A and B are shown apart, each in its own frame.
Chain A
Amino acid sequence: MLEFNNSTPLTLGVELELMIVNRRDYNLTRGSDDLLLLVDRQTHGYDIKPEITQGMIEIGTAIHQGSASMLQELQAIRQLLVNSAEKLNLGLAGGGSHPFQHWSEQQIYPKARYQLVSELYGYLAKQFTVYGQHIHIGCPDGDSAIRLSHYLARYIPHFIALSASSPFYQGMDTLFQTSRLTSVNAFPLSGCMPGVENWDQFNDYFQDMARLGIVASMKDFYWDIRPKPEYGTVEVRICDTPLDIVTPTLLAAYAQMLARRCLEDEWQDIRPERYLTYSYNRFQACRFGFDGVLVDGSAAQQTSVQDDLLATLGSLQAHATALGCEAELAALRERTLKRQSDSQWLRDVYRDSSSLSEVVRRQSACWMHDQRD
């Protein structure tokens, strides 16, 4: 029986997976152990840990009421990491995938959980060297978490378009705005949560899956959005790690505004038909970003991701005011109007330099030192 540890509604936390690259050719490097060793020589209370392969690291924030304080914490974590990385001649970078690393060269981090994943999933584990942002939103109870998970599914294309930063994979332009999600799709328990309507039903589903030996814990679900009972949150896992430090807080603020509307309106419209168009819309956003076409199944009409996002942002003004994140709402609106995308920026850098090493060098300068030019 899974217990949902209730948390303060609408509190926020984010996790960011980051690349560790060498500064010779900017390929991924097995630097996580060295980096963590040096970081842990200093006294800090931050959540910085290894990830599935040794060219990755994950940072997580504490619980925040809003995105402004979250940004401050992220900047402090970054400073700590950058100081250590500079001493070790390592680069840290955002972005959903490394443009030219080869999955076969990656090494699984020597931790029991990751070794198990590697044994079960074979090469998929190494292909999972992709980098995402996870957003946690506090929920008052399990039923709310189930409702919120279904509610946010409708807005998944928005998060994809806003965070897309993985146009290159294995040395090639994929023509996708985000290629990262293709790696996630390969896992058998990826996609979306089944159509359960409340926490009890979810628990029944989980127990069935556990009894059949398919899962042992919530970590075995690689869904785009999932309840996180131990934290008392809903976790949005669809975003690429953005290239800079500000975008993650904007994405968190957007999730918070949507969550507030869901919880305030006591939204209950959970219907299996809502998922008819889920995969198609998700694909459209991955492939075309803001230019993707969204299909509204119930209204039988189509719109673009950009128009749908602008309309949604326009409807969230009251929630932004209540949460004190009007600046974030304005920034999101401006980015959407300009179709400002990390993927496009990466493609521009490649077009100018014709070097994927240079692309990663600029990515790294962007995350470590806020240098875009």
Chain B
Amino acid sequence: MPHFPWQHLVLNPLAAFGILLTLGVIGGQIANRIARLPAMTGYVLIGLIIGPASLHVLNEDLLRAADLFVNLALGLALFESGRRVDLRWLRAERTLLLSTLAYCLLVFAALCTLLSNAGLDWQSSTAMAAIGMATSPIVILEMLREGRAEGQVSDRLATATALSSLLSLLAFAIALGSAHLLNNHPPEDSLLTPAWLILGSSLLGLLAGLLAIALNHWLGHQRQQQTVLLFGLIALLVGLAGMLNTLPALALLVFGLATRNLRGGESVSEPGLLAGSHFFFVAFFVAAGAWLQPQALASHWPLTLGYLLLRSAIAMLFWFLLAPANCLTRRRGLWLGLALNPLSGGSAMLLSMSALALGTQAGSAAASMMAVLLISELAGPWLCRLALQQTGDICKEQ
């Protein structure tokens, strides 16, 4: 019997990436044309269908092999998100800064209380609440790009997203440190862990920012070279942050922040980096869908619904009340709160990081969070688009 290669066909990472992209685009178009849903909901649904939890076209090993592209997508989004934070604006518009800080603290406290009352231990509750503070930069940026949204709600949404991600990562690092302490790790470990995660990541991001500005200036007129260089630096930073056990997400956010706000950094991402990054984002959303575990919802739906509803209600009420101080009408404030719904795109990675520190309750917390992510990944983009349409930031012509 002759031996043919297709008899034992095993997908390699490149083929897996091809599948992510090809099926993702088809799914996005179907969602868009038939159900009038945002394309990214289609990407996630396709991922869910072909992922390990359903048809198993892609298994865990292949998904891990495609991590390279997924992490790069997340890196690009976080870098761009950091660039949306204009410190000069926040000095003139302190209300936005203070509002975002207060909103994050409120969400954190409310989610902590909910999760503790639901029977989770303190470590798991704080870690999950920290994750809940953040809105997903990748979803928000993709939504703004897809709808060509412009206006005060979009600007404030982008800034609040970046700041909330920053705060979420800081809170997560501290929660991880305290979890270490409570789980009888050596005390120096408990102090060094958050310090290393926060300071190490920030320093990496800052150094990358300085390097990018200097090299960008040195390259001068060569726009294409500048773009390639920036892609390279982002990939390098994602890799380095991982190798050094810091938080890549925090490093990338600081990188973006630095290039936007340090002298000479104005033209670092010119021409727009996002325009050339779309295919990474498609792969990211399909992979994110593939990692989802729908079965987690069956056992954790009460907590999941409570978590999501509480988060949305606080956001909408908070931004509704503070709308006039934020130069918005109350109505637009309410929609801004709704637009903040999508959960952070890197939540799954953070969860895997915390698995060891959270100890015995890690499994339960992770399952709850997966159920939360399942709903958020599917509903979040749609809610965000609806909000931006209602505020007029996505205009009818789009």
Using a CB–CB cutoff of 8 Å, the interface residues on chain A facing chain B are 22-25, 29-31, 33-34, 38, 86-89, 105, 107, 353-355, 357-358, 361
Contact B327 A87 (CB under 8 A): yes
Contact with A along B303-341 (1 / 0, CB 8 A): 000000000000000000000000100000000000000
Measured between beta carbons, the chain A residues less than 8 angstroms from B266 are: 355, 357-358, 361
Residues from chain B with Cβ under 8 Å of A25 in the complex: 270, 272
- Given that A29-B150, A30-B150 are contacting pairs, would A358 and B267 also be in contact in the complex, using a CB cutoff of 8 Å? yes
Cβ–Cβ contact A24 & B84, under 8 A: yes
CB-CB < 8 A to A34: which residues of B?
151-152, 327
Q: Which 6 A-B pairs have the closest CB atoms?
A: A354-B221, A89-B89, A355-B267, A86-B92, A30-B150, A34-B152
Instruction: Report the minimum CB–CB distance from B86 to chain A (whole Å).
Output: 6
Contacts of A38 in B (CB 8 A): 327
User: What distance in Å separates the Cβ of A90 from its nearest Cβ neighbour in chain B?
Assistant: 9
Question: A20 CB to closest chain B CB, in angstroms?
Answer: 10
25 A-B Cβ contacts within 8 A? A22-B150, A22-B155, A23-B86, A24-B84, A24-B86, A25-B270, A29-B150, A30-B395, A31-B151, A34-B327, A38-B327, A86-B92, A87-B92, A88-B152, A89-B86, A89-B89, A89-B92, A89-B93, A89-B155, A105-B148, A353-B267, A355-B270, A357-B266, A357-B267, A358-B267
A26 CB to nearest chain B CB (Å) = 8
Chain A contacts for B327, CB-based, 8 A:
34, 38, 87-88
- Point out residues on B near A: beta carbons under 8 Å: 83-84, 86, 88-89, 92-93, 148, 150-152, 155, 220-221, 266-267, 270, 272, 327, 392, 395, 397
Q: Which residue of B lies closest to A171 (CB)?
A: B271
Report the bound CA distance from A357 to B272 in whole Å. Answer: 11
Residue of B nearest to A41 (CB): B327
Q: How far is the CB of A136 from chain B (nearest CB, A)?
A: 33
A320 to B172, CA, bound (A): 71
Complex interface: chain B residues within 8 A of A357 (CB)? 266-267, 270
State the CA gap A361–B263 with chains docked (Å).
Answer: 13
Report B-chain residues with C-beta under 8 Å of the C-beta of A86.
89, 92-93
A89 proximity list for chain B (CB < 8 A) = 86, 89, 92-93, 155
Bound-complex Cα distance A355 to B272 (A): 13
**Across the two chains, which residue of chain B brings its CB closest to A83?**
B92
Give the CA-CA distance A354 to B266 in the complex, in Å: 12
Least CB distance from B365 to A in Å reads 37
Nearest-neighbour CB distance to chain B for A119, whole angstroms, equals 14
Q: CA–CA, A23 to B327, complex, Å?
A: 17
Complex Cα gap A311–B380 (Å): 68
Most chain A CB within 10 A, of B89, B220, B272, is at B89
Given the complex of chains A and B, what is the CA–CA distance between A107 and B84 in angstroms? 23
User: By the criterion CB–CB under 8 Å, are B93 and A354 in contact?
Assistant: no
User: Nearest chain-B residue to A29 (Cβ)?
Assistant: B150
Q: How far does the Cβ of A298 sit from chain B's closest Cβ, in whole Å?
A: 48
The distance from the CB of B214 to the nearest CB of chain A, in whole angstroms, is 16
User: From B84, which residue of chain A is reached at the shortest CB distance?
Assistant: A24
Least Cβ–Cβ distance between A28 and chain B, in angstroms: 9
Most chain B CB within 10 A, of A29, A31, A34, is at A34
5 other A-B residue contacts (CB within 8 Å) besides A87-B92, A88-B155, A355-B266 = A23-B89, A34-B151, A86-B92, A86-B93, A361-B266
Chain A residue nearest to B152 (CB atoms) is A34
The docked-state distance in angstroms from the alpha carbon of A22 to that of B144 is 14
Roughly how many angstroms separate A22 CA and B152 CA in the complex, as a whole number?
11
Asked if residues A24 and B83 are in contact (CB atoms below 8 Å), the reply is yes
Judging by beta carbons under 8 Å apart, are B86 and A107 in contact? no
Contacts of A33 in B (CB 8 A): 151, 392
CA distance A360 to B327 in the complex (A): 25
B397 to chain A, nearest CB (A): 6
Residues of chain B within 8 A (CB-CB) of A24 are: 83-84, 86
Structural contact, B151 and A107, CB atoms closer than 8 A: no
Complex CA distance for A269 and B360, rounded to whole angstroms: 98
Tell me if A107 and B89 are in contact (CB < 8 A).
no
Among A86, A87, A89, A107, residue most surrounded by chain B Cβ atoms (within 10 Å): A89
By a CB distance below 8 angstroms, the chain B residues around A355 are: 266-267, 270
**Whole-angstrom distance between the Cβ of B90 and the nearest chain A Cβ:** 9
Pick from A31, A107, A353, A361: contact of B395, CB under 8 Å = A107
Shortest beta-carbon distance, B269 to chain A, in Å?
8
Determine the distance from Cα of A30 to Cα of B388 in the docked complex, in whole angstroms. 14
CA distance A22 to B89 in the complex (A): 12
Q: Which among B148, B151, B152, B221 has the highest number of chain A CB atoms within 10 Å?
A: B152
Alpha-carbon separation in the docked complex, A88 to B93 (Å): 8
Question: Which chain A residue has the least Cβ–Cβ distance from B332?
Answer: A34
Q: For A23, list chain B residues within 8 Å (CB).
A: 86, 88-89
* Highest count of chain A CB atoms <10 Å: which of B86, B89, B155: B155
CB distance from B328 to the nearest CB of A (A): 9
